[in-house]
Chains A and B, each alone.
Chain A
Amino acid sequence: MSATTKRLAGHEAIRVKGWLAAHKWLILRRLSQVMFLLVFLVGPWFGIWWVTGTLAGSRTFGVLPLTDPLVLLQSLVAGHLPELTAIVGALIVMAVYAVIGGRVFCSWVCPINPVTDGAHWLHDRLGFSKGWQPKRSTRLWILGAVLAVSAVTGTIAWEVVNPVTILHRGLVYGMGFAWALVGAVFLFDLVVARRGWCGHVCPVGAFYGLIGTKSLLRVSAVNRSACNDCMDCFAVCPESQVIPAALRGRDGASPLILSSDCTNCGRCIDVCAVDVFAFTHRCDTYVKNDEQLADKAA
């Protein structure tokens, strides 16, 4: 796409499907993010204690414990054997994300996601260059380093800097200078590295990705034969490296986006004017009119 024809992704989809349909999953996702904040906030704000605690650990309706599995894993390698309540909480969280996709946490729950999405939105409009693009495996290395530091120092190391829990805890219990940290993440994504934090650095996302390697809920390029190469899905996808294999379907490759990097955000479904993508489960390899795709390739 040359600079003169450059326009914002999703333009065509809005024209064809209408604004609402072209933003369906995005709107649902923002609602989910707001909802996950509100359930924690109605307690301190209005005294409605459905959910108590933070994303690191919480108690719902006085009984259901939930624990962030990465925080608990750090606690384990730091040498503390947690009480059963926290362990059960972490197992429940892992079980849920193992089914719906680990990085669903990133796009539907995490309070940092709106921040980095905002940075990306501005980044696009300002036409900044990609900037520093470390390998996707960087976050796995950082995850390893975090666990190593936890083990060596005997503390839950990442919690000292983790913007995810610090922002969430800040909103629920009091911000302090957490804004500065959140601002730093925003600036990092805006000027240093496009999609830098969630896409390359954050070990929390990396860990949830590992949980969801075999997740049931997946996006499929069912209608890939209709793809007109507008590249809008690549432009909006926070992990665009996951798309080509499923979309291009070389050598009859599965239409399912099986990479655990995919956050199941559904934005590719939104912005596609010809409705190539849809949510489905990982055993559904059905492809519409695949012969046409083969013809096209020929």
Chain B
Amino acid sequence: MPASGQPISPQRRRFLTETARMAGGCVVAGSALAYLVNDARGLPAEALRPPGALPEADFLAACIRCGLCVRDCPYDTLSLAELGVDGPATGTPFFTARQVPCEMCEDVPCVAACPTGALDPSLTNIDDARMGTAVLVDQENCLNLLGLRCDVCYRVCPVIDEAITLELSHNVRSGHHAIFAPVVHADHCTGCGMCEKSCVLPEAAIKVLPVRLARGRSADHYRKGWEEKDARGAPVVEGIIDLPDRLPGPGTDNLTAPGGFEPALKLPGVKP
């Protein structure tokens, strides 16, 4: 009621209640919508975004779900998520590596087709794409790690010898063979999924995961001393004396190790 003590006119009262009712209804409906929107954020780990896709949060603000990227992909890699069937937000483009991987077209037609920039047009070299990162998730079933020579994931990789290499080590089981372990190098892996698609096992031992799942992150202040030293061409800290290392075995002053000898200088109170 106004301060003057006069009652609010009926029209004004109606207007105010009507406005309050609408605003209230909008808060309820808007909250429901916001809930659905948040629900739609979860991107399943198997669902990979097309090359150049903005980070997921930005992508959902940018992609208008037109499907032009899907149409221009010559390998039918991409599809739009169907309501209630696929995991990603309704109508957004994705692909599943194990079904159809990305062939890494040199002219990146999917990015060129995108009218909104949800697929970043600054991606012109497909080798710079980071759709995910391959990880050899099952080291127990990978044939190469069992000591066989499958090598399929390595051979199909479009960035072979950079994104994925075979690292030799001794095969302890057989005693006289080598193990050729497939090792992914995240700096070069585009996440195209060729390796996952081609893994000969019934369930792939190598899988492309979203970068957030595939990778850890080093603390910002960590430095690799040996790299710093190489870069500097000198020790990182001046004046450090390099003392002889005390190793077990012959030639050390550790009596308990075979071939050890008694130390020449004995400090009082210190047991060897």
Enumerate chain A interface residues (CB-CB to B < 8 A).
43, 49, 52-54, 56-59, 65, 67-68, 71-72, 75, 78-83, 85-86, 89, 135, 137-138, 141-142, 144-146, 148-149, 152-161, 165-166, 169-170, 172-178, 180-181
> Smallest CB–CB gap between A274 and chain B, Å?
38
Chain A residues positioned under 8 Å from B71 (CB to CB): 43, 49, 52-53
20 A-B pairs in the complex with CB atoms less than 8 angstroms apart: A57-B64, A68-B64, A80-B58, A80-B117, A83-B121, A141-B23, A145-B27, A145-B33, A149-B30, A153-B38, A155-B40, A155-B89, A156-B61, A161-B33, A165-B91, A175-B82, A176-B82, A176-B83, A176-B86, A176-B90
Enumerate chain B interface residues (CB-CB to A < 8 A).
18, 22-23, 25-27, 29-30, 33-34, 36-38, 40-41, 57-58, 60-68, 70-72, 79-80, 82-86, 89-91, 113-118, 121
> Smallest CB–CB gap between A272 and chain B, Å?
34
Asked if A56 and B66 make an inter-chain contact with CB atoms under 8 angstroms apart, the answer reads: yes
Given the known interface contacts A148-B30, A175-B82, the answer about A141 and B22 at a Cβ–Cβ threshold of 8 Å is: yes
C-alpha spacing A97/B24, complex, angstroms: 32
Chain A residues positioned under 8 Å from B84 (CB to CB): 176-177, 180
The one of B27, B37, B91 in contact with A157, judged by C-beta atoms closer than 8 angstroms, is B37
C-alpha spacing A112/B90, complex, angstroms: 18
Asked if B64 and A144 make an inter-chain contact with CB atoms under 8 angstroms apart, the answer reads: no
Asked if B30 and A145 make an inter-chain contact with CB atoms under 8 angstroms apart, the answer reads: yes
> Smallest CB–CB gap between B261 and chain A, Å?
70
Chain A residues positioned under 8 Å from B41 (CB to CB): 155
Asked if B40 and A82 make an inter-chain contact with CB atoms under 8 angstroms apart, the answer reads: no
> Smallest CB–CB gap between B89 and chain A, Å?
7
Given the known interface contacts A75-B116, A137-B22, A174-B80, the answer about A160 and B61 at a Cβ–Cβ threshold of 8 Å is: no
C-alpha spacing A150/B85, complex, angstroms: 24
C-alpha spacing A79/B27, complex, angstroms: 22
Chain B residues positioned under 8 Å from A49 (CB to CB): 71
Chain A residues positioned under 8 Å from B23 (CB to CB): 141
C-alpha spacing A83/B68, complex, angstroms: 14
Given the known interface contacts A54-B67, A169-B91, A170-B82, the answer about A83 and B33 at a Cβ–Cβ threshold of 8 Å is: no
Asked if B80 and A173 make an inter-chain contact with CB atoms under 8 angstroms apart, the answer reads: yes
**Most chain B Cβ neighbours within 10 Å, of A54, A156, A175:** A156
> Smallest CB–CB gap between A67 and chain B, Å?
7
Given the known interface contacts A80-B117, A145-B30, the answer about A72 and B64 at a Cβ–Cβ threshold of 8 Å is: yes
Asked if B68 and A59 make an inter-chain contact with CB atoms under 8 angstroms apart, the answer reads: yes
Asked if B66 and A178 make an inter-chain contact with CB atoms under 8 angstroms apart, the answer reads: no
- 20 more contacts with CB within 8 A, not counting A52-B68, A148-B30, A176-B82, are A58-B66, A67-B64, A80-B116, A80-B118, A85-B116, A86-B64, A135-B18, A141-B22, A145-B27, A152-B34, A156-B63, A157-B33, A159-B64, A159-B65, A170-B82, A173-B70, A173-B80, A173-B82, A175-B82, A178-B83
Asked if A153 and B18 make an inter-chain contact with CB atoms under 8 angstroms apart, the answer reads: no
C-alpha spacing A142/B67, complex, angstroms: 27
Asked if A149 and B79 make an inter-chain contact with CB atoms under 8 angstroms apart, the answer reads: no
Chain B residues positioned under 8 Å from A149 (CB to CB): 30, 33-34, 37
Asked if B115 and A169 make an inter-chain contact with CB atoms under 8 angstroms apart, the answer reads: no
Chain B residues positioned under 8 Å from A138 (CB to CB): 22, 25
Given the known interface contacts A89-B115, A142-B26, A152-B34, the answer about A53 and B66 at a Cβ–Cβ threshold of 8 Å is: yes
Asked if B36 and A160 make an inter-chain contact with CB atoms under 8 angstroms apart, the answer reads: yes
C-alpha spacing A222/B29, complex, angstroms: 42
The one of B34, B37, B70, B116 in contact with A82, judged by C-beta atoms closer than 8 angstroms, is B116
Chain A residues positioned under 8 Å from B63 (CB to CB): 156
The 5 closest A-B pairs by CB, nearest first: A176-B82, A57-B66, A177-B84, A78-B61, A85-B115
Asked if A170 and B83 make an inter-chain contact with CB atoms under 8 angstroms apart, the answer reads: yes
